[in-house]
Chains A and B, each alone.
Chain A
C-alpha cells in the first residue's frame, strides 16, 4: 500500500481514538452520577464500557476492523442495559450517558469507516443499528424528536471528519510531490554545479598552489611573481563564478591545458618552474612526450605535485629527481630525493595526506602509488597511471 495512504489511516485512527475515548469518558461520568441507573445496571454496564474504551484505544494503532465489531456490540449492549435494566427507566443522567455513547462515542468509529466501500457499508449498518436502538429504547423517557437529531448530527459530524481528512491527505500529497519534483531539479542543478566547479581541477590545482604559498606568507617566492600568479588565479576564479568553464591555457608561468589529450612534457616543465620558485630544484629524466587523457593527466600531475611538495616540506634537501617512463599500458613517475627519509611505520601515511591526495586521486583514474623510504637514505615514490 501507498505510504501516504498508510499515514492517512494512522491519522484517521488516532483521531477516532481521541474522539471516541473522550466521549466514552464523558458518558461514563454521566453514568456514574447518582440516580442515573440502578446499581445492577451500573455493574453490568461497567465491563461493557471497558470493552468499548479498550477497543477505541487499540483502534488508535491498528488498521484492523476487528476492534470495531466488539466495540460496537459492547456499546450497543451498554445502551440496552442503561435503557432496560433500571426499573422505571433510567434517570436524566442515564439518558445523557446513553445519548453520548450512541451519538458521539460509538460515532467515532465512522471516522475510520470512510476509506473504502466495504467500510462505508459497515458505517451505514452501524449507524442504523446504534441510532435505532438508542432512539427506540429511550423513547419512553426521552422523546425521539430530541434523540434522533442528535444521533444524526453526531454520526454526520464524525463521517464528515473522516471523509474530509481522507480527501485532504491526497491533496496535500500532490502538493508535496510537486515540491519533491522541484527539489529533485534543485538537487540535480546543485550536482551539476558542483561537478562543474570540481571539474575545474586544473584551475583549482593552481589556486591551491598559490593559496599554499600565501599560507606560508609567500616566503621564498619573489613578491612580483606571486602577485602575478594571484592575479591570474583570481581572474580564472571570476570566470568560473560568472558561469564560464575556464579551460585556462596558463596561470602565471604554470601552464594549464584543458584539451582532451595533453602533452605531458610542457606541463611537467611548468610544475618544475613552480617548485623552482619555491626553492626546490626538480630534475626531469626520461620521456618528455606522453599523451594522456585530461582527467588522468590531472590526477597524475596533482599526485606528482603533492609528492614534490612533501619533498620540499619534509626532506630537508633542495633537490628532487623525477623520472618518467612509459610502456604500452602505463605511465610511471619515480620521485626520489636524498633527504632525511623516514620509517614507514613511524609516519602515519594519512598524516602526510598521502592516502587522500595521492593514492585516492590516482585510484580514481585506475592508477596506484607506492612509497619507499628509510631514515637517512631518502624517499622514493612511484606513481603509475594507465595510458
Chain B
C-alpha cells in the first residue's frame, strides 16, 4: 500500500498546511467592488488638476498677449496656443465622456497636440534667441500633462515630461546665447515646464497609496464584528469546492463510471479529498477574527505576529477588538518612512481571574504588545487612546522599542 498517500481517518495532516490565501481573497473583493481602482477618488483629483492647468493656461495666454509685439511673426505662436487649448479641452472632455480613463489612441493624440504646440511656439520665438524669456505655450504644455496625470500610468507621464524637458533644454542650448545673464530665465522656464508634472505624479501616487491603505484597513475592519471563531473569506468557497469534488467522485462511483475497486490514482484523489475536507471541517473554525484580520491585510500581514494559543482574541467585545486592531494599525502604519523596519508582536493569554471582584464575573486576558523599531516618543497619541479602549495598560521600553502590557477584562465564556 505504499503507493497510497499518507492518509488516515483521523485527519493526520498530509504534507504542509496549505498556504492561506485570504490576502488574495481581499484583492479579489476589491477588484470586484471597484472595476477600476483608479476611479476611487482620483477622478476628483483629476478635475482639480484640470483647474490648476486652466489657471496656468490663462496666465500663459496673458503673458503671450503681452509679448505680442516682440514676435517677428506671432502667427505660429498663436497657432501653438490654439492647438494647445483645443487639445486640452478635447482631452478633458474625452476622458470624462469615456469615464475617467484615457485610451492609448486618445493619449497619443494628446501628446501629438502638445508636441505640435511646443514645436510651433519654439519656431515662432527661434529668431529671438532667448527661449527662456519668450516661450509661453511650450512651457504651459509641460504643465498640461497634469490633465492626464490621474488617467495614465506614472511611467507614461514621466517619460512624456522627460522628453519635453530634454527637447526644451536642447533647444535652449542650440538657440540661446551663452551669456550668464540669460541663464536664469532658461532655468526658470525649464523648471516651470517640468516640475508641475513631476509634483503632480507624486501627489497622485501618494493619493493612490492612501486609498490602498485605507481600503486595506476598512476591509480588515469587518472582522471586528465576526463571531469568536470565524472562517476566513475563502473558507466557504473552499468547502464548496471540496464538496463539489467529492460529489462528482461519489457520483461517478455510484453510476459505475469509475470501476471498483479503484485504481491507485483515483484512490489517492479520494484520500486527499478526505484529508482536505477534514481539515476544513475540523480546523476551519479554530482561528479568531484577529488571525483573519492579520492574514487578510497586506500591511499587517507583513509586520504583525500573533501568539494566541487559547484563541482568546475571540472573547474581546467589538469595541476592544476595534481598539486592538487600531493599535496594531497605528503602530505599523504610522511612520514617516514606510521602509523602516517595524514589527509588532501581539501575545494574548494565559487567562487569569482578576483579584478584586469586578463588575459581573469577568475574566482577565493579559495582552502583551512588543515591538521592534517603534521608539516610545514616536508613538502617535491616537495609539494610546486606542489601547485604552482595550483595557488598562502600562507601557515600558524593551530593547529601545515600545512594549505595552494591557489588562483586558472580558466576559467569561462559561457564563454565556
Known interface pairs A157-B56, A172-B41, A194-B231; 20 further A-B residue pairs with C-beta atoms within 8 A, sorted by A's residue number: A3-B329, A18-B199, A23-B191, A60-B336, A93-B183, A149-B62, A160-B51, A168-B48, A169-B207, A172-B40, A176-B215, A179-B30, A187-B222, A209-B9, A215-B267, A230-B253, A237-B250, A310-B9, A352-B8, A356-B283
Residues of A within 8 Å of B326, CB to CB, are 3
Interface residues of A in 191-211 (CB under 8 A from B): 191, 193-195, 197-198, 201, 204, 207-211
**Which of these binds chain A: B100-108, B167-175, B240-248?**
B240-248
Whether B33 contacts A179 by the Cβ 8 Å rule is: yes
Shortest C-beta distance, A208 to chain B (Å), equals 6
**Which of these binds chain A: B87-95, B157-165, B256-264, B366-374?**
B256-264
Whether A187 contacts B223 by the Cβ 8 Å rule is: yes
User: Is B301 at the interface (CB under 8 A from chain A)?
Assistant: no
Residues of B within 8 Å of A313, CB to CB, are 8-9
Chain B, 134-167, contact with A by CB distance < 8 Å: what is the 0/1 string?
Answer: 0000000000000000000000000000000000
User: Is B341 at the interface (CB under 8 A from chain A)?
Assistant: no
Whether A356 contacts B195 by the Cβ 8 Å rule is: no
Q: What are 23 pairs between A and B in contact, CB < 8 Å?
A: A3-B330, A11-B206, A19-B199, A26-B191, A96-B185, A97-B184, A153-B55, A164-B51, A183-B218, A187-B233, A193-B236, A198-B231, A208-B274, A211-B271, A214-B253, A215-B267, A215-B271, A217-B261, A219-B261, A230-B253, A353-B11, A353-B12, A354-B10
Shortest C-beta distance, A332 to chain B (Å), equals 21
User: Is B343 at the interface (CB under 8 A from chain A)?
Assistant: no
Taking CB as reference atom, which chain B residue is nearest A239? B247
User: Is A281 at the interface (CB under 8 A from chain B)?
Assistant: no
Count of A-B residue pairs with CB < 8 Å: 298
User: Is B180 at the interface (CB under 8 A from chain A)?
Assistant: yes
User: Is B227 at the interface (CB under 8 A from chain A)?
Assistant: yes
Residues of A within 8 Å of B253, CB to CB, are 214, 226-227, 230
Per the CB 8 Å criterion, the residue count for chain A at the interface is 103
Whether B10 contacts A237 by the Cβ 8 Å rule is: no
Residues of A within 8 Å of B277, CB to CB, are 204, 207-208, 211
Whether B55 contacts A157 by the Cβ 8 Å rule is: yes
Whether B188 contacts A26 by the Cβ 8 Å rule is: yes
Shortest C-beta distance, A96 to chain B (Å), equals 4
User: Is B202 at the interface (CB under 8 A from chain A)?
Assistant: yes
**Which of these binds chain B: A27-35, A42-50, A118-126, A334-342?**
A27-35
The 7 closest A-B pairs by CB, nearest first: A353-B10, A172-B41, A164-B48, A61-B336, A231-B254, A180-B218, A93-B184
Given contacts A180-B218, A230-B254, A356-B11, is CB(A197)–CB(B271) below 8 Å?
no
Residues of B within 8 Å of A187, CB to CB, are 222-223, 226, 233
Whether B12 contacts A351 by the Cβ 8 Å rule is: yes
**Which of these binds chain B: A65-73, A357-365, A368-376?**
A357-365
User: Is A285 at the interface (CB under 8 A from chain B)?
Assistant: no
Residues of B within 8 Å of A198, CB to CB, are 231, 239, 280-281, 284-285
Residues of A within 8 Å of B199, CB to CB, are 15, 18-19, 22
User: Of A60, A96, A353, which one neighbours B8 at CB under 8 angstroms?
Assistant: A353
Given contacts A7-B210, A227-B253, is CB(A215)–CB(B233) below 8 Å?
no
Residues of A within 8 Å of B202, CB to CB, are 14-15, 18
User: Is A277 at the interface (CB under 8 A from chain B)?
Assistant: no
User: Of A164, A179, A207, which one neighbours B218 at CB under 8 angstroms?
Assistant: A179
Residues of A within 8 Å of B254, CB to CB, are 227-228, 230-231, 234
User: Is A128 at the interface (CB under 8 A from chain B)?
Assistant: no
Residue with the greatest number of chain A CB neighbours at <10 A, chosen from B274, B285, B337: B274
Shortest C-beta distance, B17 to chain A (Å), equals 12
Residues of A within 8 Å of B29, CB to CB, are 183, 186
Cα(A180)–Cα(B217), bound, Å: 9
Cα(A19)–Cα(B33), bound, Å: 34
User: Is B98 at the interface (CB under 8 A from chain A)?
Assistant: no
Whether A11 contacts B52 by the Cβ 8 Å rule is: no
Whether B262 contacts A211 by the Cβ 8 Å rule is: no
Residues of A within 8 Å of B187, CB to CB, are 26, 29-30, 33, 96
User: Of A23, A160, A168, A184, which one neighbours B225 at CB under 8 angstroms?
Assistant: A184
Taking CB as reference atom, which chain B residue is nearest A220? B261
Shortest C-beta distance, A166 to chain B (Å), equals 10
User: Is A266 at the interface (CB under 8 A from chain B)?
Assistant: no
User: Of A168, A191, A215, A218, which one neighbours B231 at CB under 8 angstroms?
Assistant: A191
Whether B52 contacts A207 by the Cβ 8 Å rule is: no
User: Is A306 at the interface (CB under 8 A from chain B)?
Assistant: yes
